[in-house]
Amino acid sequence: MFRFIMDIDNTLEETMRKMEQAFVKPVVGIERNIFEADGSMERFLAEEDQKIDDLNTQLAEFERIAQNEFNEVRIALEGAPITPHQIHELDNLIYVLENKANQTRKALQKSKSSLNQHVKELSLYSKQGASKMNKQNKRLRNWLEADAEACLKYALLYRALRADLSDKTEETKIKSRDDLDKFFDNLG
């Protein structure tokens, strides 16, 4: 389970880095005046398309790994008594997944106006290029939304698993004096 949390943390860092590059690169491109007749704009847009395709591939891989990990964790935890430590690990995993989804959504909200501004600036140079960049921005936003949804999906699955397993913990709940007496009687 820790491997999965580390994978999510690494994926989050990688995603944030790629998002930052995706949001900054169009501005850098405009500043470098890439919209020349030599086709550099087309190359730039093709490179960005490839990066978004790579992100979609990574998302599919993340979902495959997340589903496999969830199945393994569920099977492992359903067969034996649950310790408070395992419940705590599930809580941490749920927190990481929800945090990644929230950060992705916040980044998406912040980026919308910035991306629209890039398209507006590009439209001064090339209407066709602006149209293509707008399509890329939509693809990037769709990827970010899908990434956030995937994280929330697995957070909810783990939350449901945790709720099912929380009754199986080995903790002794003492609610009354009789429960306390029974606890000490069982100790011997």
Q: What is the pLDDT of residue 30?
A: 45
Q: Is the pLDDT of residue 121 over 80?
A: no
Domain boundaries along the sequence of the chain: 2-187
Q: Is the pLDDT of residue 36 over 80?
A: no
**28-32, 59-63, 64-68, 101-105: least confidently modelled range:** 28-32
E strand or H helix at 9: helix 2-31
Question: Encoding tokens for residue 167?
Answer: 């009754």
For residues 89 and 86, give the distance between their C-alpha atoms in angstroms, rounded to a whole number.
Answer: 5
**26-40, 54-68, 103-117, 132-146: least confidently modelled range:** 26-40
Q: Are 154 and 70 in contact (CB under 8 A)?
A: yes
pLDDT tens digit string along 57-96?
A: 888 888 888 888 888 888 887 777 777 778 888 888 888 8
- 9-17 mean pLDDT: 59
- 127-131 mean pLDDT: 76
For residues 87 and 163, give the distance between their C-alpha atoms in angstroms, rounded to a whole number.
Answer: 10
pLDDT band at 174 (very low <50, low <70, confident <90, very high): low
For residues 58 and 74, give the distance between their C-alpha atoms in angstroms, rounded to a whole number.
Answer: 24
Q: Is the pLDDT of residue 14 over 50?
A: yes
Q: What is the pLDDT of residue 172?
A: 52
Q: What is the pLDDT of residue 34?
A: 45
Q: Is the pLDDT of residue 166 over 60?
A: yes
Q: What is the pLDDT of residue 32?
A: 44
- 33-56 mean pLDDT: 69
Using the CB atoms, write b or e for 91-105: b if 16+ within 10 Å. Answer: eebbebbbebbebbb
- 22-51 mean pLDDT: 59
pLDDT band at 107 (very low <50, low <70, confident <90, very high): confident
The mean of the pLDDT values for the chain is: 73
Q: What is the pLDDT of residue 184?
A: 61
